[in-house]
Amino acid sequence: MAEYGEWNRKGATLSDKTAKTEYGVSRDFIVKGIQAGRLEYRQGAIWGNPYLRLLRSQLEQYIAEELGSDRLTSAKTQTELRQIKKEIANLKNRLKELQDRKTELEKQMKE
Protein backbone atom coordinates (compact mmCIF):
# COMPACT_ATOMS: atom_id res chain seq x y z
CA MET A 1 0.00 0.00 0.00
CA ALA A 2 1.00 3.58 -0.63
CA GLU A 3 2.17 5.79 2.19
CA TYR A 4 -0.16 8.48 3.44
CA GLY A 5 -0.11 11.43 1.05
CA GLU A 6 2.18 9.76 -1.47
CA TRP A 7 -0.30 10.35 -4.29
CA ASN A 8 -0.10 14.10 -3.66
CA ARG A 9 3.68 14.43 -3.32
CA LYS A 10 5.42 16.13 -6.23
CA GLY A 11 7.31 13.66 -8.40
CA ALA A 12 5.89 10.63 -6.59
CA THR A 13 3.55 9.73 -9.44
CA LEU A 14 3.94 9.33 -13.17
CA SER A 15 1.75 8.35 -16.08
CA ASP A 16 2.08 5.17 -18.09
CA LYS A 17 3.35 7.28 -21.00
CA THR A 18 6.10 8.80 -18.86
CA ALA A 19 6.99 5.35 -17.53
CA LYS A 20 7.51 4.21 -21.10
CA THR A 21 9.95 7.04 -21.86
CA GLU A 22 11.76 6.99 -18.50
CA TYR A 23 11.97 3.26 -17.85
CA GLY A 24 11.26 1.69 -21.24
CA VAL A 25 8.36 -0.43 -20.01
CA SER A 26 5.24 -1.08 -22.04
CA ARG A 27 1.65 -0.46 -21.03
CA ASP A 28 1.12 -4.24 -21.06
CA PHE A 29 3.90 -4.67 -18.47
CA ILE A 30 2.19 -2.07 -16.28
CA VAL A 31 -1.23 -3.66 -16.70
CA LYS A 32 0.19 -7.05 -15.68
CA GLY A 33 1.57 -5.44 -12.51
CA ILE A 34 -1.81 -3.89 -11.77
CA GLN A 35 -3.63 -7.19 -12.35
CA ALA A 36 -1.16 -8.98 -10.09
CA GLY A 37 -1.92 -6.43 -7.36
CA ARG A 38 1.67 -5.15 -7.26
CA LEU A 39 0.93 -1.64 -8.59
CA GLU A 40 -1.65 0.84 -7.41
CA TYR A 41 -3.07 3.15 -10.04
CA ARG A 42 -5.55 5.88 -10.71
CA GLN A 43 -7.20 6.59 -14.01
CA GLY A 44 -7.04 10.00 -15.57
CA ALA A 45 -7.76 11.71 -18.85
CA ILE A 46 -6.32 14.77 -20.52
CA TRP A 47 -8.25 16.21 -23.45
CA GLY A 48 -10.19 12.96 -23.67
CA ASN A 49 -7.09 10.78 -23.79
CA PRO A 50 -7.05 8.22 -20.98
CA TYR A 51 -3.90 7.36 -19.04
CA LEU A 52 -2.88 5.45 -15.93
CA ARG A 53 -1.28 7.31 -13.02
CA LEU A 54 1.16 5.17 -11.05
CA LEU A 55 3.29 5.53 -7.96
CA ARG A 56 6.94 5.87 -8.99
CA SER A 57 8.27 3.96 -5.96
CA GLN A 58 6.03 0.95 -6.62
CA LEU A 59 6.85 0.94 -10.33
CA GLU A 60 10.60 1.06 -9.66
CA GLN A 61 10.31 -1.80 -7.19
CA TYR A 62 8.22 -3.82 -9.65
CA ILE A 63 10.69 -3.22 -12.49
CA ALA A 64 13.62 -4.23 -10.26
CA GLU A 65 11.89 -7.44 -9.23
CA GLU A 66 10.60 -8.42 -12.68
CA LEU A 67 13.33 -7.18 -15.02
CA GLY A 68 16.29 -6.88 -12.66
CA SER A 69 17.87 -4.01 -10.81
CA ASP A 70 20.45 -3.58 -13.60
CA ARG A 71 17.67 -2.68 -16.03
CA LEU A 72 16.24 -0.17 -13.57
CA THR A 73 19.62 1.42 -12.92
CA SER A 74 20.37 1.61 -16.63
CA ALA A 75 17.02 3.24 -17.40
CA LYS A 76 17.41 5.80 -14.61
CA THR A 77 20.93 6.62 -15.78
CA GLN A 78 19.80 7.10 -19.38
CA THR A 79 16.96 9.35 -18.26
CA GLU A 80 19.28 11.48 -16.14
CA LEU A 81 21.78 11.72 -19.00
CA ARG A 82 19.01 12.82 -21.37
CA GLN A 83 17.92 15.54 -18.93
CA ILE A 84 21.50 16.76 -18.49
CA LYS A 85 22.06 16.95 -22.25
CA LYS A 86 18.82 18.91 -22.63
CA GLU A 87 19.82 21.33 -19.90
CA ILE A 88 23.27 21.82 -21.45
CA ALA A 89 21.67 22.60 -24.82
CA ASN A 90 19.34 25.13 -23.19
CA LEU A 91 22.25 26.78 -21.38
CA LYS A 92 24.25 26.97 -24.62
CA ASN A 93 21.32 28.69 -26.33
CA ARG A 94 20.93 31.11 -23.44
CA LEU A 95 24.67 31.86 -23.46
CA LYS A 96 24.55 32.61 -27.19
CA GLU A 97 21.61 34.97 -26.65
CA LEU A 98 23.48 36.76 -23.87
CA GLN A 99 26.66 37.05 -25.94
CA ASP A 100 24.68 38.52 -28.85
CA ARG A 101 23.04 41.01 -26.51
CA LYS A 102 26.44 41.90 -25.03
CA THR A 103 27.95 42.66 -28.45
CA GLU A 104 24.88 44.72 -29.34
CA LEU A 105 25.24 46.80 -26.16
CA GLU A 106 28.98 47.24 -26.72
CA LYS A 107 28.27 48.56 -30.23
CA GLN A 108 25.76 51.03 -28.80
CA MET A 109 28.30 52.26 -26.23
CA LYS A 110 30.92 52.94 -28.93
CA GLU A 111 28.54 55.17 -30.88
Each residue's pLDDT tens digit, 21-44: 999 999 999 999 999 999 999 999
17: pLDDT strictly greater than 90: yes
What is the phi/psi pair of residue 11, to 5°? Answer: 85, -5
- Give the mean pLDDT of the chain: 93
10: pLDDT strictly greater than 80: yes
1: pLDDT strictly greater than 80: no
pLDDT at 4: 74
| Mean pLDDT of all residues in 56-85 | 94
Q: What gap in Å lies between CA 51 and CA 27, rounded to an integer? A: 10
Residue 101: which residues within 8 A CB-CB, separation 6 or more?
A: none
> For the whole model, what pTM was predicted?
0.76
pLDDT at 41: 94
Q: Could you give the percent of the chain with pLDDT greater than 70?
A: 98
pLDDT at 3: 72
Residue 29: which residues within 8 A CB-CB, separation 6 or more?
A: 66
Q: What gap in Å lies between CA 100 and CA 89, rounded to an integer? A: 17
Which residue ranges make up each domain of the chain?
Answer: 6-110
